[in-house]
């Protein structure tokens, strides 16, 4: 049987096949008009953001008594003319909250040109004598500052034992029970608006606490029924003239409460 002759592949057809499989597919090119338009948009937006339109013109503060708006602005290097959009809020908040008087801070941008500094302050609730000076403490026992004198009519706390302290942290009292009495008394006095009345508190013995108002010694004993004791103390002391001297015994509220005059 005669073998069938192979038909040679046409050279032209082979080249066409190779070109079909090897030729890379062409992608769609980016329209130059799109690139130009995008760049123009970026330039326009950048021009607006960096324009005087967003320059700070007004700085306000909220929730502050201890600081002025100017003091807060200086702390975070914020001044009129600063760009409102690009001002670093996170760093500014971090700086503000490093101050012992500032419990919490936030910044609110009111477009186009106003920055509001919002502050939650810690309040001084008493003074602790220390080496001829006074530690200003808040209701958590945190040391807010030290001064050689005090100006507000707040309680002077005696009887706490400590060797050192760190500004901005809770006083490291050795007699922690006595510190707890101070904090509890502070809360009660704040509740009944007595912080400007009590002159001195002695917590040397937390089970035998004394308070002194004007020339009157108030014997409070332990902190059992502290809310009621402090409320009664306030009610009675408002009726006693400042020049009167005596003692008020509130250690046992089940007994009659008597003010004993001293001559």
Please say whether the beta carbons of 253 and 244 come within 8 A.
no
| Cα 129 from Cα 69, distance rounded (Å) | 31
How many alpha carbons fall within 13 Å on the CB side of residue 234? 17
Where helices occur in the chain by DSSP H, the ranges are 11-22, 32-49, 69-75, 89-96, 176-191, 226-237
pTM of the model: 0.77
Residue 153 banded pLDDT, cuts 50, 70, 90: confident
Q: How confident is the model at residue 5 (pLDDT cuts 50, 70, 90)?
A: low
Instruction: State the chain's mean pLDDT as an integer.
Output: 87
| pLDDT tens-digit readout, 246-255 | 999 999 999 9
Q: Are 125 and 152 in contact (CB under 8 A)?
A: no
Strongest mean pLDDT among 40-49, 51-60, 63-72: 63-72
* In the predicted structure, residue 10 carries a pLDDT above the cut 60: no
Position 43 pLDDT exceeds 80: no
pLDDT mean over 42-63: 77
Higher pLDDT, 146 or 8: 146
Tokens 């004791």 locate to: 229
Choose among 133, 160, 229, 238: nearest CA to 196. Answer: 238
Residue 42 scores a pLDDT above 80: no
Query: How far is the C-alpha of 13 from the C-alpha of 34, rounded, in Å?
Result: 41
First to last CA, the chain: 151
What letter does residue 78 receive in the DSSP assignment? -
Go through the domains of the chain in sequence order and give each one's CATH number: 52-121 (3.10.20.310), 126-261 (3.40.50)
Q: Which helix H or strand E contains 209, and what residues bound it?
A: strand 209-213
Q: What is the C-alpha to C-alpha distance for residues 148 and 135, in angstroms, rounded to an integer?
A: 9
On the question of pLDDT at 1 being above 80, the answer is no
Could you tell me which residue, 23 or 164, shows the higher pLDDT?
164
For position 70, what pLDDT does the model report?
96
The string of pLDDT tens digits covering residues 26-38 is 556 677 766 776 6
């Amino acid at each position: 049987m005669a073998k069938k002759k192979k038909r040679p592949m046409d050279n032209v057809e082979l080249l066409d096949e190779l070109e079909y499989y090897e030729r890379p597919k062409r992608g769609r090119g980016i329209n130059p008009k799109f690139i130009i338009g995008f760049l123009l948009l970026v330039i326009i937006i950048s021009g607006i953001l960096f324009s005087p339109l967003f320059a700070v013109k007004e700085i306000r503060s909220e929730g502050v008594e201890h600081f002025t708006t100017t003091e807060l602005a200086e702390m975070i290097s914020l001044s009129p003319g600063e760009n409102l959009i690009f001002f670093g809020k996170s760093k500014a908040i971090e700086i503000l909250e490093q101050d012992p008087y500032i419990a919490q801070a936030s910044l609110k941008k009111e477009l186009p040109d106003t920055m509001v500094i919002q502050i939650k302050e810690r309040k001084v609730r008493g003074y602790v004598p220390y080496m001829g000076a006074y530690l200003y403490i808040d209701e958590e026992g945190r040391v807010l500052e030290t001064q050689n004198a005090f100006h507000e009519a707040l309680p002077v706390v005696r009887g706490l034992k400590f060797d050192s302290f760190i500004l901005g942290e809770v006083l490291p009292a050795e007699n922690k029970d006595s510190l707890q009495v101070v904090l509890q008394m502070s809360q009660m006095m704040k509740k009944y608006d007595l912080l400007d009345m009590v002159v001195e508190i002695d917590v040397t013995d937390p089970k035998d606490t004394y308070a002194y108002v004007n020339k009157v010694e108030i014997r409070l004993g332990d902190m059992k029924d502290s809310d009621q004791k402090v409320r009664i103390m306030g009610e009675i002391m408002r009726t006693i003239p400042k020049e009167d001297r005596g003692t008020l015994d509130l250690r046992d509220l089940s007994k009659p409460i008597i003010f004993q005059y001293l001559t």
